[in-house]
Amino acid sequence: MFQKEGPMVHRLWSDSNVLVKNIMEMFLKKAANFDKELEQLDLSNRSGWKKVEHLDIGDVVRAALSKVSPELKEDLLCTFRSSAKAMPAYLQEKLPITNSILKRCFYLCLVTRKGVVEEDEQEVQKSSMKTGLLYLARQFQQFSTEDIEILDTEIDLYLSLPQVPVYNPSEHVDDWWVKTLNLMGEKFGDYPNILKRLVFLALSLSHGQAFVERGFNTTKWILKGNRGSLSMESFTAQKSMKDLCEKYGGAGLVPLAHSLLVDMRQANNKYHKGWRKRKSRKRLNAQDRGTRRKTWTEKEKRRKRKHSGRRNTRN
């Protein structure tokens, strides 16, 4: 979802919370609500786990499991529950589910404004949204005290709009904000420049990590065709080399360490030196085997002569 050109930071906090909560609901009797409750929820508490027969695995998977033995079914369900527990535990640490900046960016979403305007307790909700946007402006440290006062008024005007432009889910949220800000300028006479600065400062925040997304594409490129059986060492080496070449703009531009150049120049000498050692060792081993074989042959001959002499003596 977040591999898009348009701004998505206004959805990052809410979607991260929804993702963690949905995974938790697969194996927990009662999942926590948003924000700190999700982050602080103790997943190791077995009393809160669902029984394996009540896990949320979907009808298709449940129908498939009905065709296997009860022992295998229980084993697979226990494995699924362990996996479902491990995923949110990891996401609790990695996703920004308690990030205060991203949480306030959620107020830039049209759905949030619509919910605030249509709520029964409109004044309370509007006050909460206004406080969140002002907090966002102060955190950016790009607004003076006078700017904050003007922004306070512009947010009130924004929330007082009876109607806003229709939002098409296929368009970027910044395009919708341009229409809304223009509407405010036409309706109230003054264009909301401070609110515009705040909106576009927030929407310019990165909603993903480009190098991680490029990593997925690199993996697909390396494994394309019939190369799925690559060893982990070979795969890691190829991915590292590709990233390094892209970083410097080509294989010929990658800087080489002096020690690597010295090793490259001495590689031929090292190879021949090693080859001579292996050949010498092989010759010594062959001589040693020949000596042992000769010694064994002489001992065997002496033993036979001795045995033959004893036999003649008896006769």
Let me know whether 111 and 73 are in one domain: no
* 2 inside domain: no
Domain end (from 253, 272, 287): 253
Total domains in the chain come to 4
pLDDT at 103 over 70: yes
pLDDT at 1 over 50: no
pLDDT at 208 over 90: no
Let me know whether 245 and 157 are in one domain: no
Let me know whether 270 and 248 are in one domain: no
Q: How far is CA 289 from CA 146, 271, 302, in A?
A: 96, 27, 20
pLDDT average, residue stretch 206-211:
64
pLDDT for res 138: 93
Let me know whether 217 and 196 are in one domain: no
Let me know whether 137 and 168 are in one domain: yes
Let me know whether 194 and 274 are in one domain: no
* 1 inside domain: no
pLDDT for res 259: 86
Structure confidence at residue 155 as a pLDDT band (50, 70, 90): very high
pLDDT average, residue stretch 222-238:
75
Q: What Rg value do the Cα atoms of the chain yield, rounded?
A: 36
Could you tell me what percent of the chain has a pLDDT over 70? 84
Let me know whether 77 and 112 are in one domain: no
Domain end (from 203, 218, 245): 203
Instruction: Report the C-alpha gap between 249 and 262 in whole angstroms.
Output: 24
Phi, psi at residue 42, to the nearest 5°?
-85, 105
Let me know whether 193 and 214 are in one domain: no
Let me know whether 32 and 122 are in one domain: no
Let me know whether 173 and 196 are in one domain: yes
Let me know whether 58 and 127 are in one domain: no
| Token output for 56 | 């949320």
Q: What is the extent of the structural domain holding 240?
A: 210-253
Instruction: Report the C-alpha gap between 109 and 199 in whole angstroms.
Output: 10
Structure confidence at residue 118 as a pLDDT band (50, 70, 90): low
Helices (H), 119-257: 122-140, 145-160, 173-188, 193-203, 210-222, 232-248
Answer yes or no: pTM beyond 0.75. Answer: no
